[in-house]
Structure formats: structure tokens, C-alpha cells
Structure 1
Amino acid sequence: MPRPRQALLSRDRIVATALALIDADGLAALSTRRLAAALGVQGPSLYNHFGTKDEILDAVADSVTATVDVGGFGRYDWCEALRHWARSYRAALAAHPNIVPYLAQGPGRRPAALAMADAVYGALVRAGWPPARATHVGAALRYFVAGSALGSFARGFVEDRALYATHPHLGQAHRLAGHQERVDEGAFTLGLDALLHGLSAEYDRTVAGVERVAGTE
């Protein structure tokens, strides 16, 4: 029997198929048996490319992180770079919300995740943030972005006007689901603006203030 011109499996194909399964049915539904079936191979074939299921999940998570644009660091000032990064980060996570709980565990040994953390932290330190505070800033943005990508506020309200009859302040809540993108995007933008405004105020009060005082001595 002649050998196929292309290998049946590759790391990229395994990762793409695993991500599609997670997108469709969630993290808990992914198993090596189901993944192998979706790929049309036997389970042991996966282990020619990955040692464990966790290695597959790491690769899947990192494939999502790799789509985040960190090019703003080094091109914009720290605050605008954070805005650019946060919007790209949210878009990447919102496209694959079922993988967010795994990503939220931290970068671990994942190359793209470590590169992203290095870009964010490095830019903040170069801008003058003390190292410990730079860690806090990066973590705060990551909490906010990950939380916003986990679900839709608007879709949490069903389109049943009668349901809200006994809640006088929710008379228009049945309309929220029909305006999901506008509501969720507006909430994210408002929160991001408020967070960055607060960080800018702290930067001006502490980092820039210290630099101004030092310059007069």
C-alpha cells in the first residue's frame, strides 16, 4: 500500500482540531479518544506529537495567545499600548471563550504566553513603573480582559418581558440580548477607559511626580 503524500497528522492539525472541539463543546468534552476520532486516527497516534493531553491543551491555549497583537509596545506610549493590547487580547479570547478558564491559569511554559507577558511587563518597566507595580498593572489588565471574555452580560437576560414585570428597574432588560454586541462592547470600552484613566492618574502622581522632583534637585 503506497504511503500517503502528506502525513495524516501534524501538531498544527491536532491543535486546530482540538480548538474546534473545545469551541463547540467546552473544555470538559475534550478527550484524546474524541480528538483522535475527529482526526480519523487511533489515539496512540497523538502521542507521536504530544506526550500528554495537558501538552495538547497548552498548545491549543498558546495558539490563541499567539494571535494577540503586542506590536503596540514600543510603538505607542505605555497607556495607549495597553489599550491596543487589551482590545486585541479580548478579541482573541472572545473568539474562543471556552479556552479562557485554561488560559486564566497563567502562562506556565507556553512560549507565546511568556512572550506576551514579557512584552507587557518590559514596556511598563521601561516607562518607569516600578517592577512590582508593573506586575500589578499587567495582572489587573489580564483579569479585566479575561473576565470580559468569559461571557456576555447582555445574553444573560432572556427575551421575556413578562419575566421582569416584578422588577421595576428592569423594564427594558428583555431587549439586552438583542443588542449583545453593542452592550458588551460598550461595557468593555467603558471599563477599559476607566481602568486606564486610573492608572494614568497613578502614574502621573507617582512615577512622573518622582521624576519631576528628581529633576529639580
Structure 2
Amino acid sequence: MTANRTRGQKAGLTREAILEGAVRLVDRDGLAKLSMRRLGAEVDVEAMTLYHYFAGKDALLDGLVEHVFARADFSLAGGRSWQDGLRDYARSLRATLLEHPGLVPLVVSRPAVTEQSLRIMEHGLAELHAAGFGLRAALDLVYSLNEFVLGHLVSASNPAVPDTASVQEGHLTGIDPGEYPLISEAIRADRDREADTRFDVALEAIFRGFGDLRRT
């Protein structure tokens, strides 16, 4: 046993590997089926070994939230504009959750409270502050952007809230163009747009609005 590995830990097993195993479980079986016992089997250890890395299931769930946001890198390195940095961040966060939709309810309902999550937030606020935002405006921008991305994903995953594509596919039948000419015209105008266009349009509107809050 090495000096920096406590009793019960397994050589080669890391916190990140456990989180990746948890993501695989959620992808395959759903969030409701995630347990320490099942996760231990997924990463080939006894469930008790996991408690050397996570105090319990709540800590594991917090770690999964951290894992999602850590994959959505926000950087203004190389003189990038704050819009470019946040645009890539938002698209990366959306792509991660589209790839792992079972994590969406967890990220929506659980605050990011781990040390790593707080370091990510601290870094983002420092970058935006250096780009000319006051700290309150920077925090509002980060929260608004996260809420926009998550709200977009929740809406897209909710079958009770059809998008334009589903309208075009006939999920909302019986719309009379004579009675609802503006809806009908808007659907026709939207027919040839890329699937991500609405997301990008709203994203740019957020940036324009918050751009007015920068220090002059």
C-alpha cells in the first residue's frame, strides 16, 4: 500500500473514472437506477470502495453536476472576446447534456456546490470581470446563460411542448391558415432553418442585452 493511498482504495481507480462510470450507468439505465452498489459493479469494485471517493450518494450526485459543467470550458485565452468564450461554453454545455439527457433533471434540480464547481465559477467570474463586467452583472450573466441552456433542453425534451419541427411533422394538426395566418406564416418561414438556429438566435440576444451592462 502506497503512502498516499488509504485502505480500501484501488490502484488505478480515480474520482473521475467513477464519475464516468456513473454517467455510463445513467445513460444506459436512467438516473433512478443509479446506486452505489450498481456503480461499484460498473467500475469493478465493491460498493464500499466508492466511499473513499464520495461520502455518499448525495456527494456522488454533486460530483455528476460538477462533471457536466467541467466539460463546458469557458476561456478567454488568446484574447478571445467574452462573446466567443460564452458562445462556446453554452454550446458545449448543451452538447454535453444532449449526449447525456438522463443528467438534465439532475443538473436542473441540483446546485453546483463542490470545490471544483466553485473553482469553475470563480474562474468564469474572473474572466468576465476582466472583460469589463461588474461582479453582479457577471454573476447575472452566468446564471442567465445556464438557465437559458437548461430551459432550452427541458423544453426540447418535454413531449408536451412541441417545437417548430414537430409542428411541421404534423404533431399539431388542424391549424387553419385563415384563422391563424401569423402562426402559419411563421412556421413556413422557419421550415428551412437549421435545428440549432433558434438556440443561437436567443444566445446572441442574451449577449446583446448583457453587453449594455459592461463598464464603460
Taking structure 1 as the reference length, the TM-score comes to: 0.71
Report the Cα offset of residue 123 of structure 1. 2.0
Counterpart for residue 89 of structure 2: 85
Report the Cα offset of residue 191 of structure 1. 0.6
Equivalenced residue count is 195
Deviations 1:162-191 (A, max 9, x none): 86135656879xxxxxx9x932x1111011
Counterpart for residue 106 of structure 1: 111
* 1:182 and 2:187 aligned: no
Counterpart for residue 211 of structure 1: none
Which protein has the bigger helix share? 1
Distance 2:44 2:84 in 1: 46
Query: Could you tell me which amino acid in structure 2 is paired with residue 91 of structure 1?
Result: A
Distance 2:36 2:82 in 1: 42
Query: Could you tell me which amino acid in structure 2 is paired with residue 165 of structure 1?
Result: G
* 1:45 and 2:54 aligned: no
Secondary structure of residue in 2 paired with 1:141: helix
**CA 1:7–1:145: 2 relative to 1, 3 Å:** same
Distance 1:28 1:156 in 2: 30
Taking structure 2 as the reference length, the TM-score comes to: 0.71
* 1:195 and 2:206 aligned: yes
Query: Could you tell me which amino acid in structure 2 is paired with residue 78 of structure 1?
Result: W
Tell which deviates more after alignment, 97-106 or 114-123: 97-106
Secondary structure of residue in 1 paired with 2:72: coil
Q: For 1:206-217, what aligned pairs fall within 5 Å after superposition?
A: 207-208=215-216
**CA 1:11–1:137: 2 relative to 1, 3 Å:** closer
Q: Gaps spanning 5+ residues in structure 2: where?
A: 1-9, 157-161, 186-191
Report the Cα offset of residue 101 of structure 1. 3.1
Deviations 1:102-145 (A, max 9, x none): 3343320240x223212221122223322222211111111112
Secondary structure of residue in 1 paired with 2:79: coil
Counterpart for residue 165 of structure 1: 174
Tell me if the contact between 1:161 and 1:171 (Cα under 8 Å) persists in the aligned partners.
Answer: no
Q: Gaps spanning 5+ residues in structure 1: where?
A: 1-5, 173-178, 209-217
Query: Could you tell me which amino acid in structure 2 is paired with residue 61 of structure 1?
Result: V
Distance 1:74 1:200 in 2: 20
Cα RMSD between the aligned structures?
A: 3.5
Distance 2:155 2:148 in 1: 12
**CA 1:28–1:120: 2 relative to 1, 3 Å:** same
Counterpart for residue 176 of structure 1: none
Counterpart for residue 175 of structure 1: none
Distance 1:47 1:167 in 2: 60
Match for residue 146 of structure 2 among 142, 147, 168: 142
